[in-house]
Amino acid sequence: MAGASSVPAAEDEQGTASSGAATGGIPGPGRPADPAADAPTVLVGDSLPGGDRLLVENPALVGDPALVGDPLSGGERDPAAGQRRMLAGRLARGLGELLITAGIVVALFLAYQLWVTDLFAARTQDRLHHQLDQVWQRPPAPRAPAGDRVRPAPLPPVDLGDGLAILRVPRFGRDYFPVVVEGVAAADLRRGPGHIPGTAMPGQLGNFVVSGHRTTYGKPFSRLDELKVGDPLVVEVRDRYYTYRVTGSEVVAPNRVDVTYPVPKRPGVAPTKDLITLTTCHPKFSASHRLIVYGELVDTTAKSAGVPPALRGE
Amino acid sequence: MYAWVYRHLPGPPRLRLTLAVVAVLAVVALLMFVVFPAVETILPNGRVTLGD
């Protein structure tokens, strides 16, 4: 008989069909007592609750014309109605699966932002530290004469995305030493805090401006709001440590480019001090404002003289 | 959708399961390495610099 022969075939295809369904097509004394054995009846247009569920869970059984036409499974019902119900069930299931998938993708994106980008950044920072070590071990390129000022000449230019200096902030702990890269394009900031090109280099007269991520990619500037006036910010370059002290901080609108001027908020004024300005987004996970921390150079230490006092006091 | 994919995977259940896991991992990798990095540039918390 067609039903009996087709059901085991369906079990093969499903691999997981229940034994009740497998015996469903075989008429026997125990059959009416077995709820699963009634499944084919439900499939062809019965209004029992759960009929749709069975219908979509066993599409192999449903789709078998031999089963639908089986007189034992209610062949007197309208087959077109069963088809419509089957289609509706499939659509509902497909929509549900899409929504669940969307939810999972959003959750994955959250995990990506909060943790996976940190892994990327940690690897990149390791590489940058390595490269910086190598560059700093090579003899320095000849520098332009320092002019009449008795101060170190600016650092040689660095390619976009390459390491420029190492930032150390004692308040953030001994294990905080991100490599500052040149450039603030998205690709540069993924590598580390970025120096805005065109602003002063560390130790150069003017404003050394560095922007960094607050919540992703290693979140180097996550704790910028914890800095207090007087906190040291140490910038390490090839042969020197520049020690800045925090002089203040503020939250500004994102369009306040003037905080990056050589003398912040004073356009056209010639700088007389070496300043540092750190910028990041504020509040966390938002683009509505920027958190700005200002600092001023207080000490320049040659590496041959050992680490600067600000780092020794940890 | 997922049942359809699973039914169209070849081989015995063990192989199908392996293939399904590999497919899921491939999709996750595509998201993590291609889709998410492209999408995040339009998100606000990446904007840390000043300008318009």
Range of the domain at A62: 2-77
For chain A, give the longest Cα–Cα distance: 109
What are the tens digits of pLDDT across the range B1-52? 888 888 999 889 999 999 999 999 999 999 999 999 988 888 777 777 877 5
With an 8 Å Cβ cutoff, are B47 and A281 in contact? yes
Burial of A37 per CB tally in 10 Å (0-12, 13-18, 19+): buried
A136 and A276 belong to one structural domain: yes
- Is A131 inside a domain boundary? yes
A17/A124 same-domain check: no
A192 lies in the same domain as A54: no
In this structure, is residue A39 part of a structural domain? yes
Question: Based on the domain organization, do A59 and A124 belong to the same domain?
Answer: no
Same domain, A61 and A130: no
Residue A135 burial (10 A CB sphere; 0-12, 13-18, 19+):
middle
Cβ–Cβ contact B3 with A under 8 A: yes
Q: What is the chain B residue with the closest CA to A91? A: B1
In a structure prediction context, what are the per-residue pLDDT tens digits for chain A, which is 314 residues long?
444 444 444 444 444 444 444 444 444 444 444 444 444 444 444 444 444 444 444 444 444 444 444 444 445 578 899 999 999 998 999 999 999 999 999 999 999 999 999 999 999 999 999 999 999 988 776 665 555 455 665 677 889 999 999 999 999 999 999 999 999 998 999 999 999 999 999 988 999 999 999 999 999 999 999 999 999 999 999 989 999 999 999 999 999 999 999 999 999 899 999 999 999 998 988 888 999 999 999 999 999 888 898 888 75
State residue A189's pLDDT score.
93
Tell me what pLDDT residue A285 has.
87
> Is A290 an annotated catalytic residue?
yes
Structural domain tally of chain A? 2
* pLDDT at residue A30 in the model: 43
Strands in A201-302 per DSSP E: 206-211, 232-236, 240-252, 274-282, 289-302
Minimum Cα–Cα distance from B16: chain A residue: A15
The reported pLDDT for the residue numbered A230 is: 95
Same domain as A293, residue A187: yes
- Chain A's closest residue to B8, CA to CA, is A13
Which stretches within A26-149 are classed as H helix? Answer: 39-43, 51-57, 59-62, 65-68, 79-111, 117-137
Distances (CA, A) of A262 to A184, A257, A272, B22, B45: 18, 11, 9, 54, 26
Chain A residues touching B13 at Cβ < 8 A:
15
Instruction: Please identify which of the residues A168, A240, A282, A290 carries the catalytic annotation.
Output: A290
Residue A213 bears catalytic tag: yes
CA dihedral A8, A13, A17, A19 (to 10 degrees): 20
- Which of A46, A62, A77 is the endpoint of a domain? A77
User: Are residues A131 and A45 located together in one domain of the fold?
Assistant: no
Q: Count CB pairs under 8 A between chains A and B.
A: 86
pLDDT for residue A11: 42
Distance from CA of B46 to the nearest CA of A (A): 7
The residue out of A52, A77, A102 marking a domain boundary is A77
Query: Tokens 């090579």, residue?
Result: A138
Give the single-character DSSP code of B25: H
Task: Establish if A268 belongs to a structural domain.
Answer: yes
Position A145 in a domain? no
**Residue A103, domain member (yes or no):** no
A68 and A159 together in one domain: no
- Quick check: is A113 in a domain? no
Q: Is A73 in the same domain as A123? A: no
Task: Tell whether A129 is covered by a domain.
Answer: yes
CA distance A314 to A232: 11
Do A37 and A134 lie in one domain? The reply is: no
Same domain, A181 and A262: yes
Q: What is the pTM of this model?
A: 0.72
Q: Are B50 and A254 a contacting pair at CB < 8 A?
A: yes
Residue A112 lies in a domain: no
Q: Which of these three, A23, A49, A77, is where a domain ends?
A: A77
* Beta-carbon separation of A284 and B7 below 8 A: no
> A165: how many CB neighbours lie within 10 A of its CB?
28
Together in a domain, A71 and A175:
no
For residue A250, give the CATH number of its domain.
2.40.260.10
Q: Do residue A284 and residue B40 have CB atoms under 8 angstroms apart?
A: no
**Could you say which of A213, A214, A240, A282 is catalytic?**
A213
Task: Decide if B48 and A196 are in contact by the 8 Å CB cutoff.
Answer: no
A90 is catalytic: no
Position of tokens 């999408």? Answer: B39
